[in-house]
Amino acid sequence: MKTLQKVCVITEGGRVVGTQLVAGPAGRHPQVTALLSAGPGQQRHEIEVEVPARFGSPDEIQAFHDFVAGKLGLKKQAKKQS
């Protein structure tokens, strides 16, 4: 069985510009959480996806953003030039 994790995704112009794992409730006591906020011209989404155990390189992060974009029905992400 795959474990799904809730992920906050920020998109702009049909592209993923940021992702953040959403923490679930830890117990009976209230907890403080912070999430990404969408800025002007951006949209915020929450989806459940299987998240890799680690992101060890920029290429692995890019691959995850491409995967999330596909789940949202967006075009693939253009690779940033260094």
Reading the chain (82 residues) residue by residue, the pLDDT tens digits are: 568 889 999 999 989 999 988 876 666 666 667 778 999 999 999 999 988 888 888 888 889 999 999 999 987 665 554 4
Q: State how far the Cα of 82 lies from the Cα of 54, in Å rounded to an integer.
A: 22
Q: Per the domain annotation, does 58 fall within a domain?
A: yes
Number of domains into which the chain is organized: 1
Q: Which residue bears the tokens 């993923």?
A: 16
Q: Per the domain annotation, does 81 fall within a domain?
A: no
Strand spans (E) along the chain: 5-12, 15-21, 42-49
Residues 6 or more apart in contact with residue 48 via CB below 8 angstroms: 4, 5, 6, 7
Q: Per the domain annotation, does 47 fall within a domain?
A: yes
Q: Per the domain annotation, does 36 fall within a domain?
A: no
Q: Per the domain annotation, does 4 fall within a domain?
A: yes
Q: Per the domain annotation, does 28 fall within a domain?
A: no
- What pTM value is reported for the model? 0.77
Q: Per the domain annotation, does 3 fall within a domain?
A: yes
Instruction: Confirm if 70 and 7 have CB atoms less than 8 A apart.
Output: no
DSSP state of 52: -
